[in-house]
Structures are given as structure tokens and as C-alpha cells.
Amino acid sequence: MADSAGIPTSVAQRPGCLGLILRILAVMVGRRPPDWGCIYVPARLTDRPDPCIYDQFMLMALGLPVTWANPDVAILLNGVPQNTYDLVASTTYDVIVTVHNSSRTRPAPGTRVQIWWMEFGAGGTVKHALGTTFVDVPTWPGVATAQFPWTTPATPGHYCLEIELFHPDDADPSNNRGQNNTQVYAAHSRVESPIRVFNTFADDPPVQPGTLSPKRPPVPVHGDDVEITVDSYVFADAIGKDANPDTMFAPRDAAWPARVEPASFTFQPGERYRDVLLIVDAPDGPGPAETFNVSVRQGGAPTGGVTVTIERR
Amino acid sequence: MECSAHNISGDQNAGINRVAGGAIPGAVLGAAAGLAIAGATANPVVLGLGAGVAGGAALGVAWMQVYDWFTRLKEVYPDPITIVGTPHCAGKNHFGIQPFTDGDWTTNIGKPPLKLVFPTDLPLSPGVTDPMDEIRTRAAWDSNLPKAALSFQDSACSPTNPAACVTPILHCEISSHIGSASVVGGAIGTTAGVIGGCIAAAIICAALGAFTFGIGALLCLLIAAIVVAALAVAGYFIGAFVGSVVGAIQDAVSDFDKQGQFLESHQQCVYKVSGRWVTDTSHGHNEIHDITSIVLVDCGVGSAAAALTLTAAVGTGRHPSGVDP
């Protein structure tokens, strides 16, 4: 909180000598039951900026559905939105990242926005830096946009994007990482979309048995078990009075018969990735498109995903 | 109802037991030192023995408490963690001296929803499927505990009454300066008390030297031990109290009680709480200590589902209408 001059009230309201003595007495003899229903938390813990982005990993940690068509990321070619899967080699695109600030009292000046491209798939770990910039994010509901010109590699390929925010005084580190992985298919009666699932934790050091004291439990390592889900959740982006969290994050089953084969498996030692197949039985004939979010967990941890749009023409 | 954690297993008094364990080695070392000093200063051996045992035991306990206090929190993970949940209580421990109180600000974060949201890729121990269970049970590698005890809000919950443990929580604290200043002040006071006790005992024993040798020696031994112990205890309480006052002043001049924000435990408020994930070896459970940031998601949250979706909306910068955070 700040006064009219913009000075934090915690600084502006320093006590005089009498006030300080009363404050000391309050700490020492103030009547405070052990559970008095609330505690007064200092501003240094509560009054901080919170730059944020649509973070699929936080949302999956909450057990909520996600889309990998990140609403805060846009890839434009001459102003026309593009899908990450279909980008053309040696072509310059504009990547636009919208950065929010969840704090209503503190702006987030100098928020660092870093962006990488990765091979298309879920759970990729080999990142190629695309750019870094800094933006001044106003308090909620203001937003800032970061723009990155990106010339795709000369070698044809399929890509996905990852964005990460950083602010030294960030109140919440859980909402700073978002991905954008989208793909579009024209519908046939049966659509089969190969998706590469990377072994995110392939480089984890193994536990060395016998090096730990019997009293000291081994440090857990990430599991190799992979679980893949598919749904047709759509994020209805809204803010303020237009936002209804219950509908924004309401799960939605796959719109058409859809499955991933295999839907679960275990990475073998040394295995870097495995290709799975999204199979959708699309209705025949023209009609509205549907999206299918393929989300991956490895060892229980969310590692990535892909959103596939199937168009009926 | 106190705002403390109640554990389903483990030893809630592990810290006190460790501190008490300083008495015997302290007494042995004190006896040896007392005998050596008595010999070097031509004082009666019984004076050195009595004062040494009592003073050594007191110093062993007091300084063991200092060591234990500053090493009791063992870091489980190098980076801060962030959980989201509802405070089931919130309060401040009373002003006073260690080991009775520490003046810390405390809250128990529980459902709804009680979820770990950062880091999202925390490796889980075998058999664990909920990351919050990992947060609550993985013991710090240097805690010498195989697992941390699960803690609950229910005051009747204890290792002898596990059926009463029904409301899972993670205890979270903001340190007051009172606890640290109190243990240091207590140790300094104890040291001063032992020194003063030794001087007083020497004077008394010198006076007792006029009596019959055997009775005088026995009296000297007992009086030295009693005087040194009494002054050490008095020194501890005086030093700990002075330390606590210093800690209270530090609290008062630091940013507590300034313009911050209330953390409510009876308004169905959901918070994101970030901080250092530690095993508190004094109680055998895991907690966040110190809290590094608190973000209010919203208040008046009625259901577990609403707690999740509100957290998601606020966390992605899409605040819905409602109570103004």
C-alpha cells in the first residue's frame, strides 16, 4: 500500500519515541491468544509484485485442465496467428507474450521475459534461446507485452515455445512458466497424430546405494512412469467481473472419441523419448473444429503437452 | 485452541531432550575443570568439584540450547516451495523466554485445497503420490529422521491417539527475534551466574574453613553445588528475560505491526504461502520456516473446487470479481 505520494505507508508511518515504546509494550504484554483468528503480516511478505503468465504447470499441479494453446502467447506472420507446429523454415515471425501482474498494489518493473524454442512434443528439455527482454508490468488489471522477432532455423522442423518470467521481488514463483504447443489437422474419418514424449528426467543422477547413512533416507528421484491424458478443454479467457473461475477451469471430456496409444508407459534406462499416437475418430463432413489437449505427467509431475486442433472441412 | 502442529508420530519433545542431554557431559567437563582450577588456585578440592559439577551441568544445558536452537531447522530442499491452502489457525506465540515460548507468528495451512504448486516437478518418495504428502513427510537428509511426522490441526491428535488426527496441515512460521535473543541471553546469563556462583562459593567455603575439616569439606561441596546451581538458574532466567526484551524491541523496530496485511483464519480465505521447507527437529515434523511471501487468493471461498479455480484464476492474472485481495 502507498500514500498519495506513492511512498509505501510502511515507510511513511514510522513511529515516534512514544509510539515505539507502546509498540514494544504491545509485543511484550499485549493480550494475544495463541489463535486469535488472524495475524498481521508485514508488508515485505504481502505487498509484492506478482508478474505471471498462463502457467500450465501450476494449473496441472492444482489438478485442473489446461490448454497448450497458451492464451498469453501469439505467433504472428504478417499479423496472422500461426500454430507452432506449422512454422516455415527461415521465416521471421513475431512472437508476442502478454505478461500479467496478479498484484493489485505493486507494479512489476523490469520483469525479465525469456523465451526458448524446443522440438515439438511434450516434456522437451533441450532449449534454444530465442530472446530475452524486460517489461514494466503495471498493477492488475494492467498487462505488458513483450515482442520477439524470431527467424526459424533453416532446417525444416516442428517447434514449441516456452516462456519464463523472472522478477527479483516476485511474490509467487509458481506462475512464471508457460508453453505454447499447437498443431492443426484437417479431419479425416480417423485422425492419427504422432506426438513425441520426451524423457524429461533422463539426465537425473541415479541414487548411489550404500553411500547414505542408514539413518538417512535416500533422496527421491523422478519416476519413469508416464501417464498421458486427452481432453477437449477450452480456456475461456476473461478477467475481472467477466471471469467465472468455475467455468474458466471446468473440465471438458474429449469432444469426439479420442485416445492416446499408449496412454501410459515406462521409460527404459537411457531412453530419451517415445513417440505416441493421438487417435481421434472425427465425424464425417464439415462442421466446427475441435481441440484435443494431450497432457503428460512423468513420475506424477506435469512435464508438458500439446494441443491439437482438428478442422472439419 | 493453540496454533501449533499436533503430530501423529515422532517425539514432540526431541529438542528439550537434546538440550537436557548437555547436562551430563557438561558436569563431567565441569568437574575436571573445577578440580584443575581449584588445584591451580590453592582452593579446596571439594569447592572445585561441587562448583564444577553444578556449573558444568548448567553451562552444558544452556549452551546446548543455543546450539540446538540455531541448528534445529534442517533444510529439506534448497529452493523455496509454494503451497496453497486455507489457514486453520493464526496467532502469535506469547512473549516470554525459551524454552517456554519464542514469540513466533504461526499459522497452520490446510484444506481446501492444500496443494503444492511450486516446484511442480518435485520427485516423490516411493509410495507417495500426492506432492503435499512428500512435503509433509520427507525428512531433511541431515535430520537423522527416517521420515518427518505427519502433522494435524486437531488438538487431540498425538502418537497415542492417532484416530484424532483428521485435519492435515502444514505448519508455517515467521520468526520473531525473541526466541533467538532469549536463548543467547539465557546462555550468557547462565555463564555469568556460574562465575558469580563460583566466587560466592569460594567465599563461603573460606569462611567454613574455620569449622572442623570433614564437616566443613562436606558443607563446602554441597554449598558450592547449590550456590552455583542457584545463581546459574537465576542467571539463566535474568539473561533469557533480558534477551527476550531485546528481541521484542527488535520485533517492534522491524516491520512487524507496520502496514501489512491480515492473514485471516476464520474467513475461509485461501492463500499462497512460499518459504523455506524445513524439518523442525525439535518436534519432528516438517514446516515452512520462515515464510518468504504470502499472497491472498480470495476470501469467502466455500468449496474445495472453488479454492482450486480461484487460485488458478488469480494465479494466471485473471482475477474474478469478489472480495478485493
- Residue B317 and residue A100: Cβ atoms within 8 Å? yes
Q: What is the pLDDT of residue B2?
A: 61
Retrieve residue A153's grid coordinates: 532455423
- Could you give the count of Cα atoms lying within 13 Å of A270 in the half-sphere of its Cβ? 0
Query: Does A193 reside within a domain?
Result: yes
Retrieve residue A55's grid coordinates: 502457467
Chain A residues near residue B110 by CB distance under 8 angstroms: none
Band of residue B226 on the pLDDT scale cut at 50, 70, 90: very high
Among the partner-chain residues A46, A240, A245, the one whose CB lies closest to the CB of B309 is: A245
CB of A46 closer than 8 Å to CB of B260:
yes
Over range A248-271, report the average pLDDT: 95
Strand partners, B277: B288
Chain B residues near residue A33 by CB distance under 8 angstroms: 91
Query: Does A248 reside within a domain?
Result: yes
Strand partners, A80: A77
Asked if A70 is an interface residue toward chain B (Cβ–Cβ < 8 A), one would say: no
- A16 burial via Cβ count (<10 Å: 0-12, 13-18, 19+): exposed
Task: Write the CA distances from B66 to A209, B60, B216, B225, B289, integer angstroms.
Answer: 35, 10, 37, 23, 18
A86 vs A148: CA distance, rounded Å: 18
Over range A21-50, report the average pLDDT: 72
Band of residue A27 on the pLDDT scale cut at 50, 70, 90: low
Retrieve residue B197's grid coordinates: 556462583
Asked if B310 is an interface residue toward chain A (Cβ–Cβ < 8 A), one would say: yes
- Residue A1 and residue B2: Cβ atoms within 8 Å? no
Query: β-strand A92-101 against A51-52: which pairing, if any?
Result: antiparallel
Q: Please report, for the domain that includes residue A271, its CATH number.
A: 2.60.40.10
CB of A112 closer than 8 Å to CB of A57:
no
More confident residue, B63 or B207: B63
Does B316 score more than 80 pLDDT?
Answer: yes
Query: Does A204 reside within a domain?
Result: yes
A112 vs A44: CA distance, rounded Å: 21
Query: Does A15 reside within a domain?
Result: no
Query: Does A18 reside within a domain?
Result: no
Asked if B77 is an interface residue toward chain A (Cβ–Cβ < 8 A), one would say: no
Chain A residues near residue B120 by CB distance under 8 angstroms: 57-58, 60-61, 174, 301-302
Smallest CA–CA separation between A260 and chain B, in Å? 23
CB of A63 closer than 8 Å to CB of A161:
no
Over range B110-131, report the average pLDDT: 92
Q: What is the pLDDT of residues B278-298, one digit of tens each?
A: 999 999 999 999 999 999 998
Is the N-terminal amide bond of B113 cis, ω within 30° of 0? yes
Task: Write the CA distances from A220 to B41, B62, B124, integer angstroms.
Answer: 59, 37, 6
A155 vs A173: CA distance, rounded Å: 35
Over range B142-146, report the average pLDDT: 88
Q: What is the pLDDT of residue B325?
A: 42
Chain A residues near residue B115 by CB distance under 8 angstroms: 61-63
Q: Tell me which of A26-35, B18-27, B39-48, B274-283 is least confident.
A: A26-35
Q: What is the pLDDT of residue A9?
A: 39
Asked if B305 is an interface residue toward chain A (Cβ–Cβ < 8 A), one would say: yes
Chain A residues near residue B117 by CB distance under 8 angstroms: 58, 61-62, 174
CB of A231 closer than 8 Å to CB of A293:
yes
Give the chain A residue whose CA is nearest to the CA of B88: A37
For chain B, helix, strand, coil in percent to 5 are 45, 20, 30
Band of residue B258 on the pLDDT scale cut at 50, 70, 90: low
Q: Which residue segment(s) compose the domain that A194 sits in?
A: 51-211+222-312
Q: What is the pLDDT of residue A12?
A: 39
In this structure, how many other beta carbons lie within 10 angstroms of the beta carbon of residue A241? 10
How many inter-chain contacts (A to B, CB under 8 Å) are there? 274
DSSP class of residue A169 equals T
Q: What is the pLDDT of residues B157-214, one digit of tens each?
A: 999 999 999 999 999 999 999 999 999 999 999 999 999 999 998 888 888 775 556 6
> Which residues in B30-42 are b (16+ Cβ under 10 Å) and which e?
bbebbbeebeeee
Q: How many domains does chain A have?
A: 1
User: Which run of H or E residues covers position B53?
Assistant: helix B45-71
For chain B, state the CA radius of gyration: 25
Q: What is the pLDDT of residues A179-215, one digit of tens each?
A: 998 887 777 778 898 999 999 998 876 654 444 455 5
Smallest CA–CA separation between A292 and chain B, in Å? 21
Residues 29 to 48 of B: which have CB under 8 A from any A CB?
Answer: none
Q: What is the pLDDT of residues A81-113, one digit of tens each?
A: 888 777 888 899 999 999 999 998 899 999 999
**Angle between helical axes of B23-40 and B45-71 (0-180°, round to 10):** 140
Band of residue A216 on the pLDDT scale cut at 50, 70, 90: low
B180: three-class secondary structure by DSSP: helix
User: Which run of H or E residues covers position A182?
Assistant: strand A182-186
Asked if A241 is an interface residue toward chain B (Cβ–Cβ < 8 A), one would say: yes
More confident residue, B218 or A173: A173
Chain A residues near residue B293 by CB distance under 8 angstroms: 45-46, 48, 171-172
Query: Does A132 reside within a domain?
Result: yes
Q: How confident is the prediction for chain A on average, in pLDDT?
A: 85
Q: Tell me which of A60-64, B36-40, B163-167 is least confident.
A: B36-40
- Residue A220 and residue B125: Cβ atoms within 8 Å? yes
Retrieve residue A18's grid coordinates: 512514544
Task: Write the CA distances from B241 to B107, B180, B196, B266, B315, integer angstroms.
Answer: 25, 12, 18, 33, 44
Retrieve residue A276's grid coordinates: 505416441
Quote the distance between the C-alpha of residue B186 and its chain's center: 15
A172 vs B325: CA distance, rounded Å: 15
Smallest CA–CA separation between A90 and chain B, in Å? 33
Q: What is the pLDDT of residue B1?
A: 45
Task: Write the CA distances from B85 to A43, A150, A216, A250, B291, integer angstroms.
Answer: 20, 40, 30, 20, 14
Over range A285-294, report the average pLDDT: 91
Query: Does A103 reside within a domain?
Result: yes
A305: three-class secondary structure by DSSP: strand
CB of A307 closer than 8 Å to CB of A292:
yes
Query: β-strand B6-7 against B169-174: which pairing, if any?
Result: unpaired
Q: What is the pLDDT of residue A211?
A: 46
A52 vs A170: CA distance, rounded Å: 9
CB of A191 closer than 8 Å to CB of A81:
no
Query: Does A6 reside within a domain?
Result: no
CB of B63 closer than 8 Å to CB of B235:
no
Amino acid at B305: A
Start-to-end C-alpha separation, chain B: 27
Q: What is the pLDDT of residue A23?
A: 66
- Residue A24 and residue B248: Cβ atoms within 8 Å? yes
Asked if B321 is an interface residue toward chain A (Cβ–Cβ < 8 A), one would say: yes
B7 vs B137: CA distance, rounded Å: 11
Q: Work out the angle at residue A46's Cα, subtended by the Cα atoms of residues A5 and B298, and round it to the nearest 5 degrees.
A: 110
Retrieve residue B93's grid coordinates: 506465540
Chain A residues near residue B146 by CB distance under 8 angstroms: 215, 217
